[in-house]
Amino acid sequence: MSETTPQAPALLLIGPLMPALQQRIESTYTTYRLWEADDQKTFLNTHGDQIQGIVTSGIHGCKGNLIRSLNNLKVIVSFGVGYDAIDISAARDRGVAISNTPGVLDDCVADTAFALLIDVARGISAADRFVRNGRWLKEKFPLGCKLGGKTCGIVGLGNIGKAIAKRVSAFDMNVAYYGRHQQSDVPYRYEPDLKALASQSDFLVLAVPGGNATHHLINADVLKALGKNGFLINIARGSVVDEAALVSALQQGIIAGAGLDVFAHEPEVPQPLLEMDNVVLTPHLGSGTHETRQAMADLTFENLTLYFTNGQLKTPV
Ligand code: 8YV
């Protein structure tokens, strides 16, 4: 527990945050670290009634039971744009305000998507292993797939999807997108049918939020439509893809390869994926640059300050 002034609102931290952000919060507010409690039930019985705010992240989330057990909870402030791990309806039922960190991470997440795309297309990670393992001395590295002229299908054309579209357009790729609605102010082709988009795409890039509405949106049928020359890129959430169907599509050559930053049960990655050279795996690093994580930390702190100063949030969910 960290204590500041007796008047400082008490906050519950669900899991560890970026060290500088955690330190800033702990020196400004009275805080409790939930993940360090030996017995969370006893801990909440003792301290629960003081807690006015929860600080969490897209990864740590916040369960409905916890929200319902805190009688004086007023706000949940989250570090991250995705809030699928937070029980939003439990919070809304109790009139608890919620904020996330949209906008500040779009460029870095889009860079990650593009990095995975160019890596799977040209086999950069596999080529690196090839050189390191001394294979260049004995054989030729297989040819890759050109980007220019190919179609990138973007599933979810929000701010991150648009930043991806901008990047792939600069590489002379054609862009089409799938989403709930056609957008009137974008120069990209709308495809209202996800399977049709997959069949037209050389690269299918996922940029939709996680949660019930998109759970297993990418299933065996969509992967079959993407086809044996198609690549899947996922920087969204592992839950968007039926991971077992993806593993089997890769094993059977139903799709050409995949670039994955997110997984169904992070940090667990299915063993077969670890053994495939046509799959590039990154450890959910989408927004992970010094600059962007600092911007996310600043926005998280600003939301807290605003809420406890005048009851407002800069970026409410
Ligand atoms: C972060 C993310 O890795 O913003 C999100 O939704 O998935 C990532 O930017 C995560 O929130 C940090 O814990």
CATH code for the domain in which residue 210 is found? 3.40.50.720
- Render each residue's pLDDT in the chain as its tens digit; 317 residues: 766 655 789 999 999 999 999 999 999 999 999 999 999 889 999 999 999 999 999 999 999 999 999 999 999 999 999 999 999 999 999 999 999 999 999 999 999 999 999 999 999 999 999 999 999 999 999 999 999 999 999 999 999 999 999 999 999 999 999 999 999 999 999 999 999 999 999 999 999 999 999 999 999 999 999 999 999 999 999 999 999 999 999 999 999 999 999 999 999 999 999 999 999 999 999 999 999 999 999 999 999 999 999 999 999 99
Do residue 98 and residue 163 come from a single domain? Answer: no
287 lines ligand 1 (CB under 6 A): yes
Do residue 81 and residue 226 come from a single domain? Answer: no
Do residue 52 and residue 135 come from a single domain? Answer: no
Do residue 88 and residue 198 come from a single domain? Answer: no
304 domain residue, yes or no: yes
113 domain residue, yes or no: yes
Do residue 149 and residue 250 come from a single domain? Answer: yes
In 3D, which of 50, 74, 54 has the Cα closest to residue 63?
Answer: 54
Do residue 211 and residue 302 come from a single domain? Answer: no
Do residue 115 and residue 250 come from a single domain? Answer: yes
59, 60, 108, 109: which to mutate for ligand 1, most atoms within 8 A of CB?
59
Active site residue 139: no
Which of the residues 60, 167, 237, 293 is marked catalytic?
Answer: 237
pLDDT tens digit string along 89-119? Answer: 999 999 999 999 999 999 999 999 999 999 9
Residue 21: domain span: 10-104+291-310
| Count of structural domains, the chain | 2
